[in-house]
Structure 1
Amino acid sequence: MSGAVSSLVIAVPAHDEAASLPAALRSIRRALACGGLPGVRETHLVVAADACADATAVVAARHGARVVEVAHGKAGAARAAAVEHALRLCRAPAEETWIVTTDADCVVRPSWLARQLEAAGHGWDCVLGTIRIAPLPPVPAALRVRHDAHYFADRAGPGWVHPHVHGANLGVRADAYRAAGGFPPVACGEDRALVEALPGTARVLRTDACPVLTSGRTTPRAPGGFGVFLRDLAGHDGRMRGVGPGTGHV
């Protein structure tokens, strides 16, 4: 089964991320320059600067991204705004358009986009990737061990079909995205909500082939996000609890 892609959308929501955004955008640029994107005729990298009180929008533009400024204060609405802005620029039909999303505090591998498009070319409608905690900012070794024990609990060798969903490492064909209603305008959990709303015929690949590095900060930008999970895992509130669906850790 073939799923040729001629338009590529890269969407990044950002709330007061002027400090972390340059590394994220540089990594995306490296992935774009790395090759392995056969047939792609247009690429649209869009940052949604959401309710920012810092220079996020200026930094994004300086690093070559298109910027849409919104004031939703919700990760789901910001991610959707970035996608919609890019889709309006695309000339290709939805079935030839691939949407990838990551976060402003993440760094992607040079092969990230090539891996996404390889899966799209094999007919997958959605790709759910994994994450790793970045080396900076430093995370206590004990916390990293506890996180990894939880995250990889069901891994049993190569070819891991993982249970996680991360907006930080997600790809979806535009026609499947439209059929699912897009990212809902929620504070967190928009990634899992989108996946759950995909048509029953959608082919979803869960792969650990190209993980994304994400910040291990425990001062989260979004309620219920990965930072909240790490903070709770560290025992800051006296107990470990599950978090909202946006982290894929439930």
Structure 2
Amino acid sequence: MLGIVIPAHNEEKLLPACLRASRLAAQHPGLKGEQVGVVVVLDRCTDGSELIAREYGASTVFIDARNVGMARAAGASVLLEKGARWLSFTDADSRVATDWLVAQLALKAEAVCGVVTVDDWGEHDAATRAAFYRSYVNSDGHRHVHGANLGVSAQAYLRTGGFPPIACSEDVALVDMLIATDTTIAWSAAPRVTTSARRASRARGGFGDTLATAADRK
């Protein structure tokens, strides 16, 4: 089976679109009927995220950490216990492409780092958008790491020890460990994910702060 891990902290507004997209990816004919498990890790949620996850048929895990590294690790553990051979990670404010899982697996690598597209720049000015894209490589061979678009085989994940319990840059830390353990990584633009550019970022040091840094450089 394959697994999708989605950490969430009070994401009732954006989680439905995320889960709809994940469900479509899980039903792609290119997977030839292989089972896909979706786990939403509810990290200190006080809104309706749990109900939404259950409405969409996702499994749920509860933690009280406000720590995305711990959240991703908790979701991965559940799926590994169920026998997942491949783990795909995205975020609750993101929407994966219909062929997202198929594209990851087609690369025949032990891990896949994909790119992201921003869905709405409405909270930012044109100069910030331009500054971001001047430094962003949206093609194969990029070196971007996004927790919203990351895949890894179960064997490679376990070899690294998994996500460290850190509140930001947990995705970069995992990829660094994958590199250190000689994991074959595909740096590809084929697996596509659309993500939010909201200013009210859920994780300090995450994508929202990356955009803020781009704004400082404009």
Does residue 184 (structure 1) correspond to residue 169 (structure 2)? The answer is no
Number of aligned positions between the proteins = 217
- Structure 2 unmatched ranges of 5 or more: none
Corresponding residue for residue 33 of structure 1: 27
Corresponding residue for residue 131 of structure 2: 146
1:64, CA displacement in angstroms?
1.1
The question of whether the paired residues in 2 share the 8 Å contact of 1:137 and 1:215 is answered with no
Cα gap change, 1:136/1:44 in structure 2, threshold over 3 Å: closer, same or farther? farther
- Structure 1 unmatched ranges of 5 or more: 1-6, 242-250
1:201, CA displacement in angstroms?
3.1
What is the TM-score when the length of structure 1 is the normalising length?
0.81
Corresponding residue for residue 80 of structure 1: 73
Residue aligned with 1:211, SS: strand
Aligned partner (choices 53, 59, 75) of residue 52 of structure 2: 59
| Partner deviation per Cα, 1:21-59 (whole Å, 9 max, x = no partner) | 00000001111222211372x321000000112111111
Corresponding residue for residue 212 of structure 2: 231
1:113, CA displacement in angstroms?
1.0
1:63, CA displacement in angstroms?
1.2
Tell me which structure has the larger Cα radius of gyration.
1
What is the TM-score when the length of structure 2 is the normalising length?
0.93
Corresponding residue for residue 118 of structure 1: 106
The question of whether the paired residues in 2 share the 8 Å contact of 1:27 and 1:109 is answered with yes
The CA distance in 2 between the partners of 1:23 and 1:43, in whole Å, is: 18
1:137, CA displacement in angstroms?
5.4
Between stretches 125-134 and 199-208, larger displacement belongs to 199-208
Aligned partner (choices 202, 207, 212) of residue 221 of structure 1: 202
Does residue 195 (structure 1) correspond to residue 180 (structure 2)? The answer is no
Q: Could you say which structure has the higher strand fraction? A: 2
The CA distance in 2 between the partners of 1:104 and 1:224, in whole Å, is: 17
RMSD of aligned Cα (Å) = 1.9
Does residue 127 (structure 1) correspond to residue 127 (structure 2)? The answer is no
| Partner deviation per Cα, 1:226-245 (whole Å, 9 max, x = no partner) | 111223433xxxx449xxxx
The question of whether the paired residues in 2 share the 8 Å contact of 1:105 and 1:215 is answered with yes
Residue type of the partner of 2:214?
L
